Amino acid sequence: MKRIALISEHASPLAALGGTDAGGQNVYVAQVARHLARLGYAVDVFTRRDAPHFPEVLEWVPGVRVVHVPVGPAAAIPKEDLLPLMADFTRFMAAFMAREGRYDLLHANFWMSGLVAADLKRLLGLPFVITFHALGKVRRLHQGEADGFPDDRFAIEERLVREADRVIAECPQDEADLRDLYAADPARIVTVPCGFDPDEFSPQGRREARERLGLDPDELTVLQLGRMVPRKGVDDAIRGFARAVRERGLSARLLVVGGNSPDPDPALTPELGRLQGVAREEGVADRVIFTGSRDRAALRDYYSAADVFISTPWYEPFGITPLEAMACGTPVLGARVGGIQYTVMDGETGYLVPPRDPDALGKRLGDLLADAPLREQMGEAALMRVRSHFTWEGVARQLAGVYREVEQEAEGARPVPPAESLVERAFQSLMTTLTRSRRALEPQIEAAAEAITECFERGGKVLVCGNGGSAADAQHFAAELVGRFRIDGRRGLPVLALTADTAMLTAWSNDVGFDDVFARQVEAFGCEGDLLLAISTSGRSPNIVAALQAARARGLTTVALLGGRGGDALALADLPLMVASTDTPRIQEVHILALHLICELVEEQISTALPAHLPAAVRLNPPGATSPLISAPVRKGANV
Ligand SMILES: O=C(CO)[C@@H](O)[C@H](O)[C@H](O)[C@H](O)COP(=O)(O)O
Ligand SMILES: [Zn+2]
């Protein structure tokens, strides 16, 4: 079973049920979730908790849970104010997944949910797809200053277009906008339209529907239905209707369904007042009926009762209402914008007219109202078209295909176990570990070398310890500094490997315990100002942890060469050097490189600590040095 997280920060699928203020995104998320569940997906929809009584996790329909994300006030707030809450939204989802398991894929809806998905991808490596529903740059083009979203939206959308595994365009116009305005990679855009649910929308019989709504069964009826905002072009619908009625001398009425309440009160829906003014101005106040909002269950009767459905917004990312009207067998008079020009086939399932052009609209409306057989024919063609192209079931199947593609790609990106020899694999993995560690280790190696140099300069000594291979590394390190590394003729530096005294190690382990064999020696040899260098690939060896604790207690500086997650040693080290691997031998190999580099840097720093004009022998063996100079002759050996 595949687990999908649908993220929809402001548009809850539950709002789609009540229907009064639900926009297209609520319907989309609700329907996609339900139909994905029917295809066998386990779907969780993450949406902001905007009412106090909502439980955190609600089992909604079989296979779909709604997770109410508790960020911001548990009340409705404008979506323009949600961006600052998104970081908490992301944190909540990451914690939720830590508790309840990961998703196979995230499907974000709208740009702010996209931000959550993109951050989760960076954090957890989850693939994501996004349906924008509306694009900020398109909105700004059409709405200008009326657009209340911050300008950050543009840069965020650009990032999402770059980082999403797939961008779902809802129609060819959306796809073109993504390419032209956002430079989206065409190979990662897939066009999947919105849909309708045949159980919800089907022809109800015109006369019966009109009767149920209390409308005159014989009068020509035109319907405009949707949210009441200026960009929906309801004023153009009213003006076009007025022209058609005037010019053709028809007896018809226009139903305008929508608003903030079921009561068509301009005090509750200010836009309504403006539109009533337009109807009066056009002399059709008695023919335009504002109904207020209606429950979703009642909409099929409205769509079925109408002879013509009008949808002429200035722009529309997709436009679900024309589909729903077509699903009820009603021809659509639509604006040639966005998804409408894709769903409505001009001259076949209705007509397309330019946006904001009441004259063109009036003419086409007149043609339709005057020709009953044409309306009949177009209504049937509309029904056929939506049933074959735009059901939610079909949409969910297409999305499932996109999810499968993304998953296959993700699998392809996972490193295939290499077929080459063990030796080749070891080289490869060491190179990977080196590359990963490089950036992090460079400043740490320099800092460790500096701390060790300072320790020597103040007259201190270095104690080194480790187990197994790291014990050998400890001795190796001591040998380089007590003896010589690259620079010939310098003084010996005081480094004591705590792993070398077998009598002490065996007696203490035999009689007392192994866990404090090093701590005991730190107590014996360590003085304030000295430095302990602890080496452990896991950071969990008890004797290493105890040695670091003892060193801290005595005022020694602590440096630790670690790997994996650093274990308890990590927090006890003033300077931890972490190798980005969990494989012991690879960590040790990087440790050796780090130790050699530390030796080289320390030698260099010690030799330049005194003015350059002094003879080399004096610089390398300063007058205050406690150990005698053993310089020449150096016998021939591998390191010479
Ligand atoms: O050399 C190796 C593995 O390459 C082993 O001897 C290894 O050092 C031992 O297992 C150590 O006991 C591991 O201890 P540590 O690095 O986790 O502190
Ligand atoms: Zn080893």
Give 632's pLDDT tier (boundaries 50, 70, 90): very low
Neighbours of 347 (CB within 10 A): 11
53 is in an annotated binding site: no
Locate 213 and state its tokens.
């709504």
Can you name the CATH fold of 3-191? Rossmann fold (3.40.50)
Write phi, then psi, for 528 (nearest 5 degrees). Answer: -55, 135
For the segment 296-306, the average pLDDT, to the nearest whole number, is: 95
Give 109's pLDDT tier (boundaries 50, 70, 90): very high
Residue from 470, 475, 499 to probe ligand 1 pocket by mutation (most atoms less than 8 Å from CB) = 470
pLDDT of 1 > 50? The answer is yes
Can you name the CATH fold of 423-609+616-620? Rossmann fold (3.40.50)
Which ligand has an atom closest to residue 583 CA? 1
DSSP 361-397: HHHHHHHHHT-HHHHHHHHHHHHHHHHHH-BHHHHHH
Q: Boundaries of CATH 3.40.50.2000 in the chain?
A: 3-191, 206-389
pLDDT of 639 > 70? The answer is no
Give 339's pLDDT tier (boundaries 50, 70, 90): very high
Residue from 467, 538, 561, 590 to probe ligand 1 pocket by mutation (most atoms less than 8 Å from CB) = 467
pLDDT of 625 > 60? The answer is no
pLDDT score, position 15: 82
Q: What is the pLDDT of residues 385-430, one digit of tens each?
A: 999 999 999 999 999 999 999 988 877 766 555 556 788 888 888 9
Question: Would you say how long the chain is, in residues?
Answer: 640
543 is in an annotated binding site: no
pLDDT of 633 > 80? The answer is no
639 is in an annotated binding site: no
DSSP conformational letter for 101: -
510 is in an annotated binding site: yes
Q: Which of 227-231, 300-304, 330-334, 582-586 has the lowest mean pLDDT?
A: 227-231
Higher pLDDT, 582 or 537: 537
Q: What is the pLDDT of residues 485-526, one digit of tens each?
A: 998 888 999 999 999 999 999 999 999 999 999 999 999 999
Which ligand 1 atom minimizes the distance to the CA of 544?
18
536 is in an annotated binding site: yes
pLDDT score, position 212: 96
Mean pLDDT, all residues of the chain: 90
Give 151's pLDDT tier (boundaries 50, 70, 90): confident
Locate 589 and state its tokens.
């190999």
Which ligand has an atom closest to residue 471 CA? 1
DSSP conformational letter for 317: S
DSSP 135-182: -HHHHHHHHGGG--S-THHHHHHHHHHHH-SEEEESSHHHHHHHHHHH
Q: Boundaries of CATH 3.40.50.10490 in the chain?
A: 423-609+616-620
Distance, in Å, from the CA atom of 518 to the CA atom of 558, rounded to the nearest integer, reads 14
Residues touching ligand 1 (Cβ under 6 Å) are 467-470, 536-538, 541, 544, 584-585, 588
Can you name the CATH fold of 206-389? Rossmann fold (3.40.50)
Higher pLDDT, 213 or 633: 213
Q: Work out the burial of residue 509: count CB atoms within 10 Å of its CB; fewer than 13 is exposed, 13-18 middle, 19 or more buried.
A: middle
Q: How far is the CA of 536 from the centre of ligand 1 (A)?
A: 7
Give 365's pLDDT tier (boundaries 50, 70, 90): very high
pLDDT of 568 > 60? The answer is yes
Nearest CA to ligand 1 atom 17: 538
Q: What is the pLDDT of residues 313-323, one digit of tens each?
A: 998 889 999 99
pTM of the model: 0.61
Nearest CA to ligand 1 atom 18: 536
467 is in an annotated binding site: yes
Q: Which of 19-33, 50-64, 491-505 has the lowest mean pLDDT?
A: 19-33
Nearest CA to ligand 1 atom 1: 469
Strand partners, 560: 534, 576
Q: Work out the burial of residue 416: count CB atoms within 10 Å of its CB; fewer than 13 is exposed, 13-18 middle, 19 or more buried.
A: exposed
Q: What is the ipTM of this complex?
A: 0.91
Higher pLDDT, 639 or 484: 484
Q: What is the pLDDT of residues 437-467, one digit of tens each?
A: 877 788 889 999 999 999 999 999 999 999 9
Q: Could you tell me the sign of the dihedral formed by the alpha carbons of 3, 9, 14, 19, in that order? A: negative
Contact by Cβ (8 Å): 260, 294 = no
The rounded radius of gyration (Å) of the Cα atoms in the chain is 37
Neighbours of 639 (CB within 10 A): 11
Q: How far is the CA of 469 from the centre of ligand 2 (A)?
A: 4
Higher pLDDT, 460 or 23: 460
For the segment 292-316, the average pLDDT, to the nearest whole number, is: 94
Provide the residues around ligand 2 (an ion) whose CB is within 5 A. Answer: 469
Which ligand has an atom closest to residue 541 CA? 1
